[in-house]
């Protein structure tokens, strides 16, 4: 008997079971083309929620401009507030650096934050079925 009660749990690591399950689901969905890599809430490279590893240099991509300021040729700095759910990215040089890819990445991080807290994952997904 293992009921998950995550409400008001202040611990920084509230999820031990949902993550691997969702990770596998997203891998499958991505493989069959039903999920865009940008929309993933989990990271198959790091095996974590996307908001937990988005600050890694691996998530910087000058080609697609994920976390990349083209004007300054600089990686954007990520700030994730797990309490408030706020996710921001900005260029350490010009303070801006927005791109469509980064905006999408921020949206995925917000969704993964919410999912990690035990809220509905499906809320932010469009149901293709």
Where does this chain bind Zn ion (CB under 5 A)? 43, 45-46, 53, 69, 71-72, 91, 93-94, 97
Q: Residue 63 or 128: which CB sits closer to Zn ion?
A: 63
> Shortest gap between Cβ of 73 and Zn ion (angstroms)?
8
Give min distance, CB of 97 to Zn ion, in A. Answer: 4
In the complex with Zn ion, the residue whose CB is nearer, 74 or 124, is 74
Strands (E), the chain: 42-43, 48-49, 68-69, 74-75, 77-81, 86-90
Write down the least CB distance from residue 102 to Zn ion, Å: 11
Nearer to Zn ion, 4 or 36 (CB): 36
CB nearer to Zn ion: give 9 or 36: 36
Query: How many residues are listed for the chain in this entry?
Result: 129
Alpha carbons 54 and 109: distance in angstroms, whole number:
8
CB of 79 to Zn ion, least distance (A): 15
* 109: CB partners within 8 A, 6+ apart: 50, 51, 54, 78, 80, 87
Taking the C-alpha atoms of residue 87 and residue 85, their distance in angstroms, rounded to an integer, is: 6
């Amino acid at each position: 008997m293992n009921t998950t009660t995550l409400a008001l749990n202040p611990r920084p690591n509230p999820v031990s079971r949902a993550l691997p399950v969702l990770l596998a689901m997203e891998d499958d969905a991505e493989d069959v083309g039903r999920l865009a890599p940008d929309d993933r809430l989990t990271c198959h490279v790091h095996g974590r929620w996307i908001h937990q590893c988005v600050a890694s240099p691996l998530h910087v991509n000058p080609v697609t401009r994920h976390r990349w300021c083209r004007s300054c040729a600089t990686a954007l700095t990520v700030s994730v507030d797990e309490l408030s759910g706020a996710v921001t990215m900005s260029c350490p040089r010009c303070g801006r650096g927005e791109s469509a890819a980064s905006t999408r990445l921020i949206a995925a991080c917000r969704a993964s934050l919410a999912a990690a807290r035990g809220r509905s994952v499906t809320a932010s997904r469009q149901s293709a079925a």
